[in-house]
Copies of this chain bind each other. A is one copy, B any other.
Amino acid sequence: MTQNIPRTQSWIGELPGKLRMIDQTRLPEEFVEIDCESVQQVWDAIKRLSVRGAPAIGVSAAYGTVIGVQTETNLSRAGFNQKLNEVTDYLASSRPTAVNLFWALERMKNVAAAIPDASPADVVERLLSEARTIEHEDREMCAAIGRHGESLMPADGGVLTHCNAGGLATAGDGTALSVLFAASATGKKIHVYADETRPLLQGARLTSWECLQRNVPVTVICDSMAALVMREKKVKAVVTGADRIAANGDAANKIGTYSVAVLARAHGIPFYVAAPSSTFDLSLASGNLIPIEERAREEISHSFGKQTVPDGVAVWNPAFDVTPAELISGIITERGVIAPVNTETVAAMIDAAASAQASHST
């Protein structure tokens, strides 16, 4: 069923090939795909937010690395290595704070470093294979989150989500949206309520578009309407993504998520977080230690191409908030569901995952 859904990005051809991606800056007004055939084009696409979302950026950077070196097979291996470093350094400069970007580029460089005697042509083949693996792993992660989460969704009813934790941010079906799409695919009658998500409107623009693509009924509301939607019993559950989760389960996510969690508790509605195990940062004991980025005034004061706040008036624009673990009914990971959420249950799932990964990689 999902084969008709446009992919956030895909590799076209073999070698040399190109990276096709949805230009997310044009949504929802237009559906436009762009083909990147140079590393400059990939860099621009990441920089301009044509592709966004940590996993999706990682996949784009991996394929971007292939694009940057795929026609350099006539170089000596030393020359090729130098070119590879230039390409990865350049791509790393596109979004200086994107952890998945650096992680993916590092993984690509390690592939080349592991086969120092191989020819440039052979290295390029291995790099393409690694990029495909990164994409594949991300898709599997999304699918596993969907499988673990779908049983928590109502058989028939509304589910509220905030921001876009969807396929557009990943190589697969997303995290929170993967849960909703998986529930819908099993025959559950899910109606998505999408908070528009001020200031950048990812819910209005992207989440609703993804639901439309998959024929999952969706209604967009302003963020301030979530409480009324709950009071009128239009939703039976809430699912959001997360950007970073502390060791005790406190979860940082798009600004407004904490508000939704408090409202859900007040209305007796379960509130779930869907996120891969890579989102956990066990070095932070609690969410109080998660730094909250404050973003530009203009995102609020001039966000629709029109000035909406007078000059001289202060604006506060925190990009994230932290939802305390006690408000979270469960965290849905690719390994299973953490519930109840506390330091012990997080450690049981995430430490185990880390050991499993460690033993797998040896």
Q: Which residues of A contact B (CB under 8 A)?
A: 27-29, 195-199, 201, 204-205, 208-209, 211-212, 217-229, 231, 255-256, 258-259, 262-263, 265-266, 300-301, 303-318, 321
Among the listed B228, B305, B310, which residue makes an inter-chain contact with A255, where contact means beta carbons less than 8 Å apart? B228
Among the listed B208, B256, B259, B305, which residue makes an inter-chain contact with A305, where contact means beta carbons less than 8 Å apart? B305
In the assembled complex, the CB of A300 is this many whole angstroms from the nearest CB of chain B, namely 6
B318, A225: Cβ atoms closer than 8 Å: yes
In the assembled complex, the CB of A238 is this many whole angstroms from the nearest CB of chain B, namely 14
A196, B308: Cβ atoms closer than 8 Å: yes
Among the listed B27, B255, B310, which residue makes an inter-chain contact with A222, where contact means beta carbons less than 8 Å apart? B255
Leading 8 A-B pairs by shortest Cβ distance: A224-B256, A304-B304, A227-B259, A28-B310, A223-B224, A198-B222, A208-B313, A219-B314
Tell whether A300 pairs with B196 under 8 Å between CB atoms, given A212-B312, A262-B262, A306-B305.
yes
Can you name 6 extra interface pairs (CB under 8 A) apart from A220-B315, A225-B321, A305-B305?
A28-B310, A222-B317, A223-B224, A228-B258, A231-B258, A304-B304
B263, A220: Cβ atoms closer than 8 Å: no
CA distance A80 to B222 in the complex (A): 50
CA distance A220 to B198 in the complex (A): 13
Task: Please name all residues of chain B whose beta carbon is closer than 8 Å to the beta carbon of A201 when the two chains form the complex.
Answer: 308
Task: Please name all residues of chain B whose beta carbon is closer than 8 Å to the beta carbon of A198 when the two chains form the complex.
Answer: 196, 198, 222-224
CA distance A71 to B228 in the complex (A): 51
A309, B220: Cβ atoms closer than 8 Å: yes
Task: Please name all residues of chain B whose beta carbon is closer than 8 Å to the beta carbon of A221 when the two chains form the complex.
Answer: 300, 315-317
Query: What are 14 sample pairs from A and B whose C-beta atoms fall under 8 A apart?
Result: A27-B310, A28-B309, A201-B308, A204-B309, A212-B312, A218-B313, A219-B316, A224-B255, A228-B258, A228-B259, A229-B316, A231-B258, A259-B259, A262-B262
A197, B224: Cβ atoms closer than 8 Å: yes
In the assembled complex, the CB of A252 is this many whole angstroms from the nearest CB of chain B, namely 11
A225, B313: Cβ atoms closer than 8 Å: no
Task: Please name all residues of chain B whose beta carbon is closer than 8 Å to the beta carbon of A301 when the two chains form the complex.
Answer: 204, 220
Task: Please name all residues of chain B whose beta carbon is closer than 8 Å to the beta carbon of A308 when the two chains form the complex.
Answer: 28, 196, 201, 204-205, 304
Task: Please name all residues of chain B whose beta carbon is closer than 8 Å to the beta carbon of A219 when the two chains form the complex.
Answer: 313-316
- In this complex, what residue of B is CB-closest to A234? B316
User: In the complex, which of the residues A226, A256, A300, A308 has the most CB atoms of chain B within 10 Å of its own CB atom?
Assistant: A308
A300, B224: Cβ atoms closer than 8 Å: no
CA distance A199 to B313 in the complex (A): 20
In the assembled complex, the CB of A201 is this many whole angstroms from the nearest CB of chain B, namely 5
CA distance A206 to B189 in the complex (A): 42
CA distance A303 to B196 in the complex (A): 12
In the assembled complex, the CB of A180 is this many whole angstroms from the nearest CB of chain B, namely 15
CA distance A228 to B209 in the complex (A): 28
In the assembled complex, the CB of A307 is this many whole angstroms from the nearest CB of chain B, namely 5
